[in-house]
């Protein structure tokens, strides 16, 4: 997995949010084309050429201007010619004179200049451009199609392929008369609108039937299926008495959680370690009688009663986002989760929440969500949350990371500074914001340093400690967001990179505390594994957000269940529009499971086996230099990660602000609502 330190280059490329606006490019091109055309119609001496005479123009002056000078000077009348009526038209039998003369002088082969031939060369010889036969040896090398250099071919391509300049058959996508589905070359002819499905046989998008199982799992779902299948999809069975999902998963391979007074020594040989993991790793895919299905029931059992479930991932894979969505659905349906958060800017909280509640807004109506790769965690989780909300499970959604747009942070600081009078001059003027919501990173840093030099005076005037923290965090966020949006992270000095990552973790910790005010919020969180480690990294030298939440925040202290991804060799991800090869991690676990019959497993990082054998590799460290057994509760192991595909963002697309998108008021409205809820809770507790 990519550590905080090792993510520097990739993150900087993946978080660049700003590109040249298309309108600016085409305006420039129109100016250049106009200048070019003007140059073509201006004569060499700088004057414009005289206009050509109009054939239909009347008047003697126009006629004389168009006639040759010698005819104008003659008084001789034009001769009159009479045409006899009895002259026959030319005979159709007369052959036209052939003006082409064949030329084979000094040529022994090739074209004679008139469509004929000067002769053919013998076998093993070819004709040169000069009409001379010379010996030729065919040479295809690595070419599988196209010419062999001697007039022959190196092979033929299939009907849907063309031979490229390198002698390779290249598939030609065919999306004629279709709007979605396979393009014949492994690509896509397009995605359907959110929630619609593609009939591959027709290549057309259809509005899907949405199953309705709000009355329970008994009976049909209104779309030709049974509601009981919804239980099976999340590893449960349908109780026909209560019509609710209950019981264990169909795999019947759940671990027995036992309390061990004495542990047997852990296995030591590679063979014994492999056998141990094969016996006690829990498959996340199970073979049924007629189909194969995912069963994530183990997470509901292993996680116990937790306040915060954190799914850690390595970004850019096709598999982890979908696995996470299945675990999220299981926990929601079991009543263990009512809030979803992800590694996306906090300024996207309102649009995310609106889409989950209504299916519309900026993410739905404007199609922003559809531009994300189909396996990306943001898309899979938000779409699943929308379906769960429709099925009767109310959910709250928020982004937990620094703002995507610097303008969002600037807007929050601006509104907080409205409460200032004596110290307002220390804050203004604010950094300039571009039309797309960007801020110059150097200007942002100088402004931030200047403002925080007066932090004590500003906080004294604000009075409230919460207002002070909001002001400080969003002042820092202006610079943090400016760095990511400008793609400049890799160009920062090591000291500034360290400051960036540590300040970012502080902001994420601040967001969690803001949106998790009490135990009524049961949160499912999906973030990079560097953020979900529950101990401080000895290599990085600062604590992750999860480490602070697990140690310092009373609502979540000791009540976090965190996972980390594990994967086998030949894994690949897409990050920042580029494909990266990943070595197996951790190697010891992957070596044991790479030949296992199932491709996905849950493996506890610390729990002994059900027969009280100590787990091997308890001293194994991650790439962030933390002990797996201390930082995480379980591995989510995938035999081979594959790059997420499709979507605008995977092709280098970006999210840009518009004048209609101003999240700052919504961010502060949410802050005020949480503060009011806290005050009401305190009053009710005092009354009791």
DSSP string, 596-609: SSSSEEEEESSPPP
Cα dist. 448→145, 295, 427, 527 in Å?
61, 49, 9, 27
Q: Which of 101-105, 179-183, 531-535, 538-542 has the lowest mean pLDDT?
A: 538-542
Q: And the tokens for 523?
A: 């949160």
pLDDT in tens, 468-505: 999 999 999 999 999 998 888 888 999 999 999 999 99
Which distant-in-sequence residues (6+ apart) come within 8 Å of 146 by Cβ? 153, 154, 163, 167
Average pLDDT of 248-267?
A: 66
Average pLDDT of 289-306?
A: 70
Separation between Cα atoms, residue 357 and residue 681, nearest integer Å: 25
Separation between Cα atoms, residue 628 and residue 625, nearest integer Å: 9
- What are the CB-based long-range contacts (under 8 Å, 24+) for 171-176? 175/203
pLDDT in tens, 409-439: 999 999 999 989 999 999 999 999 988 788 9
pLDDT in tens, 218-250: 778 777 777 777 666 555 667 666 666 655 444
Residue 199, Cβ neighbours under 10 Å: how many? Answer: 13
Average pLDDT of 347-356?
A: 88
Give the pLDDT score at 179.
85
- Residue 618 near residue 629 (C-beta atoms within 8 A): yes
Residue 316, Cβ neighbours under 10 Å: how many? Answer: 29
Separation between Cα atoms, residue 455 and residue 459, nearest integer Å: 6
Give the pLDDT score at 258.
65
Helix (H, G, I), strand (E, B) or coil at 217: coil
Q: Quick one: what percent of the chain has pLDDT higher than 70?
A: 72
Separation between Cα atoms, residue 501 and residue 507, nearest integer Å: 10
Give the pLDDT score at 230.
64
Give the pLDDT score at 358.
84
Q: Which of 52-61, 91-100, 636-645 has the lowest mean pLDDT?
A: 52-61
Average pLDDT of 193-203?
A: 71
Q: Which of 138-142, 232-236, 317-321, 367-371 has the lowest mean pLDDT?
A: 232-236
- Residue 411 near residue 662 (C-beta atoms within 8 A): yes
Q: Which of 369-378, 394-403, 523-532 has the lowest mean pLDDT?
A: 369-378
Residue 381: which pLDDT band, with cuts at 50, 70 and 90? very high
Which distant-in-sequence residues (6+ apart) come within 8 Å of 618 by Cβ? 266, 606, 627, 629
Give the pLDDT score at 211.
63
Considering only residues 137 and 90, tell me which one the structure prediction assigns the higher pLDDT: 137
Give the pLDDT score at 268.
81
The C-alpha angle with vertex 137 and arms to 135 and 142, in degrees rounded to 5, equals 160
Give the pLDDT score at 53.
46
pLDDT in tens, 639-648: 899 988 765 4
Considering only residues 1 and 451, tell me which one the structure prediction assigns the higher pLDDT: 451
Average pLDDT of 75-88?
A: 47
Give the pLDDT score at 441.
92
- Listed in sequence order, the DSSP H helices in 418-561 are 441-452, 455-462, 465-486, 494-515, 529-532, 545-551
Query: Does 35 score more than 70 pLDDT?
Result: no
Give the pLDDT score at 413.
94
Considering only residues 96 and 66, tell me which one the structure prediction assigns the higher pLDDT: 96
Give the pLDDT score at 670.
65
DSSP state at residue 329: H
Average pLDDT of 148-164?
A: 87
Q: Which of 192-201, 287-296, 348-357, 490-499 has the lowest mean pLDDT?
A: 287-296
Query: Does 59 score more than 60 pLDDT?
Result: no
Query: Does 31 score more than 50 pLDDT?
Result: no
Separation between Cα atoms, residue 360 and residue 563, nearest integer Å: 32
Give the pLDDT score at 676.
66
Separation between Cα atoms, residue 249 and residue 288, nearest integer Å: 11
Considering only residues 368 and 292, tell me which one the structure prediction assigns the higher pLDDT: 368
Which distant-in-sequence residues (6+ apart) come within 8 Å of 53 by Cβ? 62, 65, 66
- Residue 399 near residue 430 (C-beta atoms within 8 A): no
For the full predicted model, state whether its pTM sits above 0.85. no
Check the CA dihedral 313-317-318-319 and report its sign: negative
Considering only residues 678 and 192, tell me which one the structure prediction assigns the higher pLDDT: 192
The candidate with the shortest Cα–Cα distance to 570, out of 646, 645, 642, is: 642
Average pLDDT of 315-343?
A: 91
Separation between Cα atoms, residue 671 and residue 393, nearest integer Å: 24
If you average pLDDT over every residue of the chain, what do you get?
Answer: 77
Query: Does 317 score more than 70 pLDDT?
Result: yes
Q: Which of 31-45, 127-141, 274-288 has the lowest mean pLDDT?
A: 31-45
Query: Does 380 score more than 70 pLDDT?
Result: yes
Give the pLDDT score at 7.
41
Helices 377-390, 349-358: inter-axial angle, 10-degree rounding:
40
The alpha carbons of the chain give a radius of gyration, in whole angstroms, of: 36
Average pLDDT of 373-381?
A: 87
Give the pLDDT score at 437.
82
Q: Which of 150-164, 285-299, 590-604 has the lowest mean pLDDT?
A: 285-299
Considering only residues 319 and 230, tell me which one the structure prediction assigns the higher pLDDT: 319
């Amino acid at each position: 997995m990519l550590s905080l330190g090792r993510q520097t280059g990739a993150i900087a490329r993946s978080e660049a949010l700003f590109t040249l606006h298309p309108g600016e490019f085409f305006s420039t091109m129109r100016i250049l084309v106009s200048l070019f055309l003007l140059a073509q119609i201006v004569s060499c001496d700088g004057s414009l050429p005289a206009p050509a005479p109009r054939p239909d123009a009347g008047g003697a002056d126009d006629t004389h201007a168009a006639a040759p000078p010698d005819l104008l000077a003659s008084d001789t009348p034009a001769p009159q010619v009479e045409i006899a009526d009895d002259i026959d038209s030319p005979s159709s039998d007369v052959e036209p004179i052939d003006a082409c003369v064949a030329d084979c002088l000094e040529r022994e082969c090739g074209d004679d200049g008139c469509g004929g031939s000067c002769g053919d060369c013998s076998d093993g010889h070819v004709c040169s451009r000069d009409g001379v036969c010379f010996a030729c040896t065919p040479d295809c090398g690595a070419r599988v199609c196209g010419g062999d250099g001697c007039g022959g071919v190196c092979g033929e391509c299939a009907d849907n392929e063309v031979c490229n300049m390198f002698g390779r058959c290249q598939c030609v996508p065919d999306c004629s008369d279709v709007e979605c589905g396979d393009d014949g070359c492994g690509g896509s002819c397009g995605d359907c609108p959110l929630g619609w499905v593609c009939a591959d046989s027709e290549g057309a998008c259809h509005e899907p039937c949405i199953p309705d199982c709000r009355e329970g799992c008994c009976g049909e779902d209104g779309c030709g299926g049974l509601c009981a299948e919804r239980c099976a999809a999340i590893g449960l069975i349908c109780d026909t008495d209560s019509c609710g999902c209950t019981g264990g998963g169909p795999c019947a391979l759940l671990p027995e959680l036992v309390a061990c007074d004495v542990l047997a020594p852990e296995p030591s040989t590679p063979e014994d370690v492999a056998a141990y993991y094969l016996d006690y790793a829990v498959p996340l895919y199970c073979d049924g009688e007629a189909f194969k299905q995912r069963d994530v029931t183990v997470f509901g059992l292993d996680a116990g009663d937790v306040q915060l479930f954190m799914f850690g991932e390595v970004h850019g894979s096709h598999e982890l986002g979908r696995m996470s969505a299945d675990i999220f659905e299981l926990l929601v349906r079991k009543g263990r989760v009512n809030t979803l958060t992800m590694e996306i800017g906090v300024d996207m909280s309102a649009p995310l929440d609106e889409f989950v509640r209504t299916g519309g807004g900026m993410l739905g109506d404007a199609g922003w969500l559809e531009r994300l790769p189909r396996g990306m965690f943001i898309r899979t989780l938000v779409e699943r949350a929308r379906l769960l909300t429709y099925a009767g499970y109310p959910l709250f959604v928020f982004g937990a990371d620094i703002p995507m747009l610097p303008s969002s942070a600037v807007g929050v600081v601006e509104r907080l500074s409205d409460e200032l009078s004596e110290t307002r001059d220390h804050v203004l003027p604010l950094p300039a914001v571009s039309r797309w919501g960007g801020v110059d990173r150097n200007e942002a840093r100088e402004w931030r340093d200047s403002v925080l030099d007066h932090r004590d005076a500003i906080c004294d005037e604000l009075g409230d400690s919460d207002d002070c923290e909001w002001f400080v965090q969003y002042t820092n966020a202006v610079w943090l967001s400016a760095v990511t949006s400008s793609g400049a992270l890799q160009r920062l000095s090591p000291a500034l990179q360290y400051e960036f990552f540590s300040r970012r973790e502080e902001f994420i910790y601040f967001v969690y505390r803001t949106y998790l005010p009490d135990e009524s919020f049961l949160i499912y969180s999906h973030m990079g594994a560097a953020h979900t480690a529950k101990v401080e990294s000895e290599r990085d030298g600062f604590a992750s957000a999860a480490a602070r939440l697990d140690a310092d925040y009373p609502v979540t202290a000791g009540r976090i269940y965190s996972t980390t991804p594990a994967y086998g060799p030949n894994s690949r991800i897409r990050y920042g529009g580029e494909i990266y090869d990943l070595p197996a991690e951790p190697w010891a676990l992957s070596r044991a499971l790479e030949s296992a019959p199932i491709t996905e497993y849950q493996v506890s990082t610390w729990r002994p086996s059900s027969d009280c054998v100590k787990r091997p590799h308890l001293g194994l460290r991650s790439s962030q230099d933390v002990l797996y057994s201390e930082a995480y509760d379980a591995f989510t192991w995938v035999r081979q990660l594959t790059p997420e595909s499709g979507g605008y963002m995977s092709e280098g697309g970006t999210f840009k602000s518009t004048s209609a998108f101003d999240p700052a008021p919504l961010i502060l409205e949410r802050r005020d609502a949480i503060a009011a809820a806290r005050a009401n809770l305190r009053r009710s507790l005092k009354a009791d």
